[in-house]
Amino acid sequence: MERMWLLLLLTVRVLAGSAQFNGYNCDANLHSRFPAERDISVYCGVQAITMKINFCTVLFSGYSETDLALNGRHGDSHCRGFINNNTFPAVVIFIINLSTLEGCGNNLVVSTVPGVSTYGNASSVQIGNISGYIDTPDPPTIISYLPGLLYKFSCSYPLEYLVNNTQLASSSAAISVRENNGTFVSTLNLLLYNDSTYKEQLIIPSIGLPLKTKVFAAVEATNLDGRWNVLMDYCYTTPSGNPNDGIRYDLFLSCDKDPQTTVIENGRSQQGRFSFEVFRFVKHKNQKMSTVFLHCVTKLCRADDCPLLMPICGHRERRDAGRRTTWSPQSTSGNAVLSAGPIITRSEETPTNNSQLGSLGQPPFQLNSITSALISGMVILGVMSFFLLLCSLALLHRKEPTSLVLNGIRNPVFE
C-alpha cells in the first residue's frame, strides 16, 4: 500500500512539472527556480552578437518567450527572440547583426585606446562597446507577484570593424622625416594580400579562412624620398584590435621568428614584406571563428643606414662594421604602430566523424590483411583458452564426488 502511494505521488509530481514547462526540454528538478546570472550566454561573433537565455527558468517565473525583448522594445517583433527546443535546456535566442546593431536600441559607446607609448607611437585605436539588455514588461497594475526579469550583455569591437565588418580595416600612420633642406611627411600603410604577387588584397570568406592559410603582408610608404627605406622593427598579433592587448603572439622580433613566418623584404626598399600562416587564439576555443589582428612597429631609415640597423642573428658578422658611426637624429624616424584586421579564421574543433575527416568517397577506416589476420588469431586464441578453462573446471567438478564415495563410509540406506 505504501508503495502505491509513493508511485502515485511521483506520478503527480512528474505531471505537474510537465504541465508547468509545457512540454519544453526542461527538468523540473533542475529548473524549478528563478533566473540567475548563469542563465544567459553571450557570444561576441565576427558578424553578429548572439545571446542564449535559459527558457526553463523564464517559464518557471511565469513568462513566455513573447514577454522577452531587447531594450524594452516589447512592441517590435524584430526585437524578440525565438525558441530552440533542440538543446537542453531549451533556450531563447537573440541575434544582433553588426550591420544593424542599433536597430533595437542597443547602446554604442566609442572610446580611444592609446598606442604603445614605450616605442614612441602616437597612433591610437578606437574601440566600440555595444551594450544593452533583455527584459520583461512591467504589468499595468500597481503590484505584481511575478519577478521582473533583466539580462544584460556587452561586447567590444574595434570601431573600424563595426563601420564595415565585411572588409579588412587597415590603419595608416604619418611619419615626419627631417632633411637638411626641411621636413617631409610620409604615410605608411599595412596591407594584406592573397599571394606572393602582392596584387590582389586579401578577401576573407564569410565562414573564415582555414587554419594554416598563408597570408602575405606588406608595409608600404607613399610620398617617400628615394634616399629612405621602410624598416619593420617587429610584427605581432592580438585577438582584438587593441595593440596593447594583454594577449599577443610575436611573428618576428629581432632574431626571434615564428617558424611559420617568412620575412621576404625588410629595410631594402620603400616597402617591407613578409608572410605567415593564420592560426586561432586559444581563448576563442568555444567559438566557431577566431579573430586575429596584425600589428607592425615600423620606422623609416636612410637607405645606407638600414643594413646596419638589422639585427645580428646567429654567428653572422656584421658587414661594414668599420663604417658605422654614432647615429644622428636624421638617420631614422620615430616608430609607428600599423594595424590590420580582423583576419577571421574558422575553428576546426567541431565534432566530426571519420568520414568527414577523410577523403570523399573513401571509407572512414580500413584494415589491411595483416591487421585482420592478427585480430582473427587473437580472437581464436581467446575462444580456445576459454574453452580449455571450462573443460578443466568440468573435470575437477566430476572428480570431487567420486573421491568422497571411495574414501568415505557408505550409507546403509543405499544398500
131 lies in the same domain as 255: no
Burial of 45 from C-beta contacts in 10 A (0-12 / 13-18 / 19+)? middle
217 and 262 share one domain: yes
pLDDT band at 402 (very low <50, low <70, confident <90, very high): very low
Asked if the structure places residue 230 within a domain, the reply is yes
Within a domain: 400: no
Task: Give pLDDT, residue 411.
Answer: 45
Looking at the structure, tell me whether residues 205 and 259 fall in a common domain: yes
Among 346, 371, 390, residue at a domain's last position: 346
Q: Are residues 222 and 273 in the same domain?
A: yes
pLDDT tens-digit profile of 204-263? Answer: 887 788 999 999 999 988 877 778 888 999 999 998 877 888 889 999 988 888 999 999
Tell me, yes or no, whether 27 and 154 share the same domain: yes
Place of cell 544398500: 415
Q: Are residues 200 and 120 in the same domain?
A: no
Same domain, 57 and 203: no
pLDDT single digits (tens) 312-349: 776 544 444 444 444 444 556 677 888 888 888 887 64
pTM of the predicted model as reported, rounded to 2 decimal places: 0.48
Whether 117 is covered by a domain: the verdict is yes
Whether omega before 147 lies within 30 degrees of 0, making that bond cis, reads no
Select the more confidently predicted residue: 413 or 113: 113
Domain count, the chain: 2
> What is the C-alpha to C-alpha distance for residues 210 and 213, in angstroms, rounded to an integer?
6
Q: What is the CATH number of the domain that holds 104?
A: 2.60.40.3210
List, as own/partner pairs, every contact residues 39-43 make where C-beta atoms lie below 8 angstroms and the sequence separation is at least 24, other chains included.
Answer: 39/151, 40/134, 40/151, 40/153, 42/153, 42/154, 42/155, 43/287
Structural domain contains residue 214: yes
| Domain co-membership, 246 together with 196 | yes
Identify which of 298, 343, 316 has the alpha carbon closest to the alpha carbon of residue 119. Answer: 298
Average pLDDT over all residues of the chain: 75
Percent of the residues in the chain that have a pLDDT greater than 70, as a whole number: 67
Q: Which of 61-75, 215-229, 384-398 has the lowest average pLDDT? A: 384-398
| Those residues with Cβ within 8 angstroms of residue 410's Cβ, 6 or more apart along the chain or in another chain | none
In a domain, 48, yes or no: yes
In this structure, is residue 288 part of a structural domain? yes
- Per-residue pLDDT, 174: 65
For position 229, what pLDDT does the model report? 87
pLDDT at 74 over 50: yes
User: Range of 98's domain?
Assistant: 17-139+147-158
- Residue 179: inside a domain, yes or no? no
Contact in structure between 340 and 313 (CB atoms under 8 Å):
no
Same structural domain, 205 and 281: yes
Residue of higher predicted confidence among 101 and 268: 268
Q: Are residues 190 and 153 in the same domain?
A: no
Asked if 119 and 254 sit in the same domain, the reply is no
Query: What pLDDT, on the 0 to 100 scale, is given for residue 176?
Result: 62
- Beta-carbon neighbour count of residue 304 at 10 Å? 12
The last residue of one of the domains, among 299, 320, 346, is 346
Place 405 in a pLDDT band, splitting at 50, 70 and 90: very low
Q: What is the pLDDT of residue 404?
A: 40
CATH of the domain at 216: 2.60.40.4100
Q: Which of 121-130, 167-176, 287-296 has the highest mean pLDDT?
A: 287-296
- What pLDDT was estimated at residue 278? 93
Distance CA 77, CA 344 (A): 32
Residues 6+ apart with CB under 8 A from 292: 237, 238, 239, 278, 279, 280, 281, 341, 342, 343, 344, 345
Distance in angstroms (rounded) separating the CA atoms of residues 239 and 289: 11
Q: Could you tell me which residue, 358 or 376, shows the higher pLDDT? A: 376
314 conformational bin, left if phi > 0, alpha if psi -120 to 50, beta if neither = left
Residues 47 and 134 in one domain: yes
Which pLDDT band holds residue 307 (cuts at 50, 70, 90)?
confident
Give the whole-angstrom CA distance, residue 334 versus residue 304.
Answer: 17
Q: Is residue 389 part of a domain?
A: no
